[in-house]
Amino acid sequence: MAISNDLLSSTLYSIRDGEVDELYKKVAFLDGVRKAGGVEVEKGGIKIQRPLSIQEHSTITQLATGYEPVSLAVNDVLRPAVYDWADFVAPIVITKKEEMENSGEYAIVKILEARMKSVMGMLRRETNKQILRGNSTVLSSLNTLNGSVSANGFLEPEFTANQNNVVGGISKTTFPVPGWLNQYVNGGGSLSMDELYNLYIAANSVAPMGDISHLIMKPSVLAQYRQLLFANERFIDTKTLDGGRMGLAFNGALAEQDPEMDFDVTQASGTGAGTFKIGAYMLNYDGIKLVFHSEGDFSVSPFEHISGTTARSANLYVKCQLIADFLGGQGVLANAGV
């Protein structure tokens, strides 16, 4: 008996939540931003707009006698950061030939599950690559943390005086304020606890809220960090994989490795100028968010027959964007470790 589009669609809907959950769990950044409450949903809009307070509103007048004139020099402190949505879709297709060669409802359902896993795996890899490295060839409209690959990248491997990227339409050159300039440490070729703590202290000193919650490291850098802590290694229960997996910690923040962190960055000027490897991102998810459209959060469409073919397909649709509310609480460690 032929399997109806309704049955295929209902099957796809039933496995969608589990596959999306797996997508988050298998990627350090996606899992970290979701667990920290950094995944937000908006119901509509052509663009994503975030109000930022990036200037001091007024000045302080010191009173000696009480008769001094009060300075009324003020600034309009709010600036809107505006982000375009990143839209992408991937089809899930089953052909009539496959249906005939795999008779029985169970066999077709297994094919559907395998196709869904394949599509979600592809999205997971490309999304993670673009967010961390910024070099996906199919998701180039999604923003990236890598400020060396794009003039719109969030975190620059540069000291604050040399940062000039434009994030959300707001230039770091025009508004060189602490909350809009990310922290940076050049490791000088090796990893030390001093470098990590210097980056941590710099990020926390200007963060308007929250604390560093996640370190995403190059695998070899995480290995060196573990060696530094070997004598008194500590672990925390991340509760991210529902299996009690234990994660290495730094000041209470989860430290994880991701193979996508193995890429070159370039510092144009200042101490340690040159090309070298990224070491780690130090992230505060109060300032970095992943925003989804309410109807584009890995949504799936019903199965329909494709005109002119014997196949039928459903679409997996995503409408999202990586956005920044403040960058001063974020850090980049470069040139640390092999």
pLDDT at 55: 57
- What digits encode the pLDDT tens for the residues 231-244? 665 555 555 444 44
pLDDT at 44: 81
Nearest to 32 by CA among 205, 278, 206, 217: 217
What does DSSP say about strands 253-257 and 214-217: parallel, antiparallel, or unpaired? parallel
Torsion of CA 21, 22, 23, 29, to 10 degrees: 90
- What digits encode the pLDDT tens for the residues 2-35? 678 888 888 899 889 999 999 998 999 999 999 9
pLDDT at 93: 93
Pairs from 130-139 (Cβ < 8 Å, separation ≥ 24):
131/29, 131/322, 132/29, 132/216, 132/258, 132/260, 132/261, 132/281, 133/260, 133/261, 133/263, 135/263, 138/88, 139/86, 139/88
pLDDT band, residue 302 (cuts 50/70/90): very high
Distance of alpha carbon 281 from alpha carbon 283, whole angstroms: 6
pLDDT at 65: 83
Distance of alpha carbon 130 from alpha carbon 141, whole angstroms: 9
Q: What is the DSSP letter of 173?
A: T
- What digits encode the pLDDT tens for the residues 172-206? 999 888 889 999 998 877 788 889 999 999 998 87
pLDDT at 244: 44
Residue that wins the pLDDT comparison between 74 and 63: 63
- What digits encode the pLDDT tens for the residues 29-62? 999 999 999 999 998 889 999 988 665 556 677 8
On the question of pLDDT at 70 being above 70, the answer is yes
- What digits encode the pLDDT tens for the residues 83-129? 999 999 999 998 888 878 776 667 878 888 889 999 999 999 999 99
Cβ atoms 117, 26 nearer than 8 A: no
On the question of pLDDT at 276 being above 90, the answer is no
What does DSSP say about strands 214-217 and 183-186: parallel, antiparallel, or unpaired? unpaired
